[in-house]
Amino acid sequence: MSATAEQIIRHDWQSAEVQALFDLPFNDLLFKAQSIHRLHFNPNEVQVSTLLSIKTGSCPEDCKYCPQSAHYNTGLEKQRLMEVEAVLKKAQEAKAKGSSRFCMGAAWKNPNKRDMPYVLDMVKGVRAMGLETCMTLGMLDEEQAGQLADAGLDYYNHNLDTSPEFYDKIITTRTYGDRLDTLQNVRDSGMKICSGGIIGMGERKTDRVGLLAQLANLPVHPESVPINMLVKVPGTPMENVEDLDPLDFIRCLAVARILMPKSHVRLSAGREEMSDEMQAMCFLAGANSIFYGECLLTTPNPEAHKDMQLFERLGIKPEQAIVDHDDDGQAEQLNKQVQKADTAQPFYDASV
């Protein structure tokens, strides 16, 4: 395969072509994914973000994997929308300890009018610190997307979750079309898109094909593609779903890398249950973004210092954020944290 051929960014992937990638021998698939990865990224850099839950639980949606849904009793501690000052304090701490992007998540069907001014102030405040900003607040209409973009929000996260065919087995309170409409509103507003899905929810292999083809065939690829491994939370309908073969998860990352060569593919929820060796293989497959900190919204995430120790063992450096409002040496700070990672003390307490 020539470099030129592989640099073509396609939006017309057919299911059979995507299936053929999944069907490749594992080593061939990883080699192909890593070869493409190297055309577009430094293979020894990984982007790191911090995630804060700004409003937790009592969500009216019925996503069957989610402990924040009001439909399931998971014993989750609920929390109203945080005060702007408290969010900014968390962002400041994350920045001081080396984060380049600060993501804020609220368990809403969609933001309501009353909450928007607070949310917009959070975006402005975090951005003023020189951090990249990301939010996930549920569905957005055109006006809300425009307001967030005007406030300076860089990324909006809205996952497709799974294939269109499997979607109604996972969520019944909104449609796949609703999801696509929000993504369109985000794109039209000029913000970057973070959108991916969850693997291991009992979906068929064809649903993984369907999810990745949907993402890759959007008019513009999401700049960030989180691929989550289901965290089976007791109390949710997914608590007893069959275990996923870890190699099948890695295949998904590799195929995502091949289909969306210039996107950051994020190794997202489920890392807590992955060995260091599995995470290393995920990076080899083309994953080049993680959340760090102790919590990933409401499910456990490996402690930050453990992540940095793994980075050091693998010779990986945190990627520097390319932001026009970046005002200092964040990468330098992050690299210092990597060097400090072999100390016993965690450098980041993400008590979100």
Q: Which one of the spans 1-9, 55-63, 202-210, 333-341 is the region binding ligand SF4 (CB under 6 A)?
A: 55-63
Task: Tell which one of 54, 66, 201, 285 touches ligand SF4 (CB under 6 A).
Answer: 66
What is the residue whose two structure tokens read 């980041």?
348
295 included as an active-site residue: no
Q: How far is the CB of 222 from ligand SF4 (least distance, A)?
A: 17
Please name every residue paired with 198 in a beta bridge, in sequence order, or none if there are none: 228
Q: Which is catalytic among the residues 66, 127, 257, 282?
A: 66
Q: How far apart are the first and last CA of the chain?
A: 45
- 59 in contact with ligand SF4 (CB under 6 A): yes
Tokens of 176: 């796949």
Nearest CA-CA partner of 54 in 89, 27, 99, 18 = 89
- 69 in contact with ligand SF4 (CB under 6 A): yes
Q: What is the largest CA-CA distance in the chain?
A: 54
Measured between alpha carbons, how far is residue 93 from residues 80, 97, 351 in Å?
Answer: 21, 6, 11
User: Alpha-carbon distance 128 to 340, whole Å?
Assistant: 27
- 61 in contact with ligand SF4 (CB under 6 A): yes
* Half-sphere exposure for 20 (CA within 13 Å, toward CB): 7
Q: Who's near 23: CB < 8 A, 6+ residues apart?
A: none
Q: Which is catalytic among the residues 80, 174, 194, 208?
A: 194
Q: How far is the CB of 59 from ligand SF4 (least distance, A)?
A: 3
- 162 in contact with ligand SF4 (CB under 6 A): no
Tokens of 227: 């691929």
User: Alpha-carbon distance 326 to 329, whole Å?
Assistant: 8
Q: Which one of the spans 11-19, 43-51, 59-67, 207-215 is the region binding ligand SF4 (CB under 6 A)?
A: 59-67
Q: Which is catalytic among the residues 101, 103, 127, 252?
A: 103
- 200 in contact with ligand SF4 (CB under 6 A): no
Closest to ligand SF4 by CB, 67 vs 98, is: 67
Q: How far is the CB of 291 from ligand SF4 (least distance, A)?
A: 15
Count interface residues toward ligand SF4 (CB under 6 A). 8
Site for ligand SF4 in 96-115 (CB under 6 A): 107
Nearest CA-CA partner of 288 in 275, 296, 279 = 279
Q: Which one of the spans 58-66, 127-135, 244-252, 342-350 is the region binding ligand SF4 (CB under 6 A)?
A: 58-66
**Where along the sequence are the contacts to ligand SF4 (CB under 6 A)?**
59, 61, 63, 66, 68-69, 107, 138
